[in-house]
Amino acid sequence: MSTPPRAPAAAPGSSLAPPATVMQILFSVAFVHLLNDCVQAVLPSIYPLLKQEFALSFTQIGLITLTFQCTASLLQPWIGLYTDKRPIPFLLPVGMCVTMAGVALLATAGSFAMLLVAAGMIGVGSSTFHPEASRVARLASGGRFGFAQSLFQVGGNLGSAFGPLLAAAIIVGHGQGRIAWLMLVVLLAVAVLVGVSRWYAGHLRNAPPKASAHAGPALSRGRVVWAMTVLALLVFSKYIYMSSLSSYYTFYLIEKFHVSVDTAQLYLFLFLAAVAAGTFAGGPIGDRIGRKRVIWFSILGAAPFTLALPYADLFWTAVLSVVIGLVMSSAFSAIVVFAQELVPGKPGMIAGLFFGLMFGISGIGAAAMGAIADTAGIEQVYRFASYLPLLGILAVLLPRMESMRR
């Protein structure tokens, strides 16, 4: 087999810094991902507050999500592609400063239009963070790409889980102005990213040219394009469904089961915590048993539970949402690393493409689900979305990367 001899060339970061330093950087970018996504998760968590203060419809709430997700998605592949050729280490803290400005505007917005601008600025900050931070995680991986991507991604999922709790603790019930406290969270992220950027700049100075490039799989260009298309369709099915839970789960619980806003936030936290746990498991498992198997199980395996969710009582709704979060979330790290192996030498562009695709699809899905909720009711959203994981059957069309490398 030719894989072992390639390992040093694929991950030179492990030889350019002591293991402890590399792990410190890996945990640093995961921690900032936690802070970044915690701030992002506050946005849908305060939708009930914004809906009341600005008299918003579900369609307008969907448009806020669409604005954030589109700005967070459209720039990512281009930033990743540009920095693959010309890395900009200090782009990380600069992008986080844009997020801080968006948070400040969100706390002081006086109209729906200003809310859209604030959401867009937070999205721009996110679009600069994700591809560059994902690249740093890969450089610090020591060759364990699945583990590094999962650890990086689980930081974001933990942030998404803590976001509703943070919103419930400091914002919900206290008014829009309390959103400004989130600027302290963003300021901490900026401070950590300054240190990460210094390591990144030093790594670039010391790394030999094209040290991270390696041979791709024995696939034709057409088969690579086909495989990337299949991965995109799988991301579509996964994140349209996930957006229905992350954006409207609290409204669903409040309307169907008449729970309080605080109680609904706790149920959302359980779901998002399950997403974090599943994400962390997906990458290392993919390193061991193959990423195609993880992708297959993660999306198609969630279908029985999503189909049952609209007909469950409150207890089983909570149980099913946790199971769905655990199963579906394990796919994304495997998808990103699978795509990076399909297109070697462009980790930033691929990470930006799939993070951007994730955000864009989530935004479109949120807007569409909001329109369905306005016209047919919030419960109909989950009946419609429950069939989307069946598209996981498309994973059978992906190539077996392990056999290609052999």
Cα–Cα distance list, 305 to 219, 242, 279, 285 (Å): 35, 13, 18, 22
For 340-361, write each residue's pLDDT tens digit: 888 887 777 787 777 777 666 7
In whole angstroms, what is the distance from residue 84 CA to residue 86 CA? 6
Go through the chain and tell me how many residues it has. Answer: 406
Closest CA to 71 of 35, 103, 33, 117: 117
Q: Is residue 296 part of a domain?
A: yes
* Of residues 131, 181, 155, the one with CA closest to residue 32: 155
Q: Which pLDDT score, from 0 to 100, does residue 363 have?
A: 66
Q: Which two tokens stand for residue 152?
A: 């990086």
Mapping DSSP onto H, E and C, the string for 204-266 reads HHHCCCCCCCCCCCCCCHHHHHHHHHHHHHHHHHHHHHHHHHHHHHHHHHHHHHCCCHHHHHH
Alpha helices in 290-346 (DSSP H): 291-300, 303-308, 314-329, 331-342
Which residue is associated with the tokens 């959401």?
Answer: 119
Q: What is the pLDDT of residue 297?
A: 84
- What local confidence, expressed as pLDDT, does residue 309 receive? 94
The predicted structure's pLDDT at residue 273? 80
**Do 299 and 307 contact (CB within 8 A), yes or no?**
no
Q: In the structure encoding, which two tokens stand for residue 177, read together?
A: 């102005």
Q: Is 12 helix (H, G, I), strand (E, B) or coil?
A: coil
Does 4 reside within a domain? no
The answer to whether residues 134 and 81 touch, using CB atoms and an 8 Å cutoff, is: no
Given a contact cutoff of 8 angstroms between Cβ atoms, the answer to whether 187 and 97 are in contact is no
- The answer to the question of residue 268 being in a domain is yes
How many helices, marked H, and strands, marked E, lie in the chain?
Answer: 19, 0
Residue 6 lies in a domain: no
Residue 2 lies in a domain: no
Residue 195 lies in domain: 11-405
Is residue 270 within 8 Å of residue 322, measured between CB atoms?
yes
Structure tokens at 196: 């990460």
Using CA atoms, how far apart are residues 153 and 313, in angstroms rounded to an integer? 31
363, 40 contact by CB (below 8 A): no
Structure confidence at residue 146 (pLDDT): 76
Q: What pLDDT is recorded for position 12?
A: 39
Retrieve residue 22's tokens: 């590399």
Look up residue 90 and give its DSSP letter: T
User: pTM of the prediction?
Assistant: 0.66
Which of the residues in the chain have pLDDT under 50?
Answer: 1-21, 211-215, 406
Residue 342 in tokens = 């399909």
- Is residue 1 in a domain? no
In a domain, 352, yes or no: yes
Closest of 382, 399, 352, 404 to residue 257, by C-alpha: 382
DSSP 172: T
Note whether 132 and 83 are within 8 A (CB).
yes
CA distance 305 to 318: 11
Give the single-character DSSP code of 386: T
- State residue 29's pLDDT score: 92
Question: In CATH, what number is assigned to the domain containing residue 349?
Answer: 1.20.1250.20
Using CB atoms within 10 A of its CB, is residue 175 exposed (0-12), middle (13-18) or buried (19+)?
exposed
Overall number of domains in the chain = 1
Determine, yes or no, domain membership for 151.
yes
